[in-house]
Amino acid sequence: MSRSIYELTSPEVAQVIAGSGIAVLPFGSTEQHGPHLPCGTDTMAAELIAVEIAERTDGLYVPFGPYGVTPIHAGHPGTISLRRATFEGLVKDVCNELIDMGVSTFVFVNWHEGNIASLDGVATDLQSGREAMFVVAHACYVAQRVYRDEGGELTHGGGIETLAILAYDPDLAAVELAGEPTRPPKAQALDEMRRSREVYGFITDVTEIDLEGWYGNPQWATEERAAGFVKTVTDAIMERLAGIIELRGRS
């Protein structure tokens, strides 16, 4: 039986919630990804992983929508960004409704870095005020970790994101349009700077990284790797997710 709230009847939704108490929500964005990947890349990647996590946890899959907080890509055709207040308000409304239905554990599956501050803020606010536990899985960072030794890199429009789209729908990945792998000056260093957990700065315009708004090596992604993408990333998330749920003693 499908576990998407879109496809279930009301009694079936109640049954799924009563069984596990878990809701899984994907978060991404709609933004330019160069000439070779669709603007919905981040959302598609998050949805792939979230569906699999919902299946493995017997949870309720709750699609959120295609939009996120992405002013960094403003001005590029195809980019639609929500204000943080709008995004956070939507997340809170959806989660409060689900809590009222009986959901006790939320898993946020995120593939877009611009959503991180908002998701963390909403999760801690709601967990403090309601009887619910929140876990955030940044699937993009998990993918970066598990594919690093194979040469995978989490760059905007690069190898790992191309891999996600090949897994979602190969017809949407026009790798031949990307040309040769690109390595703009300072691009990798800027990514490392903004992703540091110790001392970090910010990028507020993607053209600071590259004038075309993307860089990396899309050619690294192969159909063979794509075939195992969902399982590989989900396995890594589930290992840590199970530990958190056990530690907190709630499901």
Looking at residue 1, its pLDDT comes to 46
* pLDDT, tens only, 51-69: 999 999 999 999 999 999 9
Looking at residue 140, its pLDDT comes to 98
Q: Domain limits of the chain?
A: 10-248
- Contacts of residue 98, defined as CB under 8 A and 6 or more positions apart, other chains included, come to 23, 60, 62, 106
Topology of 10-248 in CATH?
Answer: Rossmann fold (3.40.50)
* Distance of alpha carbon 16 from alpha carbon 51, whole angstroms: 14
Looking at residue 250, its pLDDT comes to 57
* Distance of alpha carbon 45 from alpha carbon 27, whole angstroms: 9
- pLDDT lower than 50: segments of the chain: 1, 251
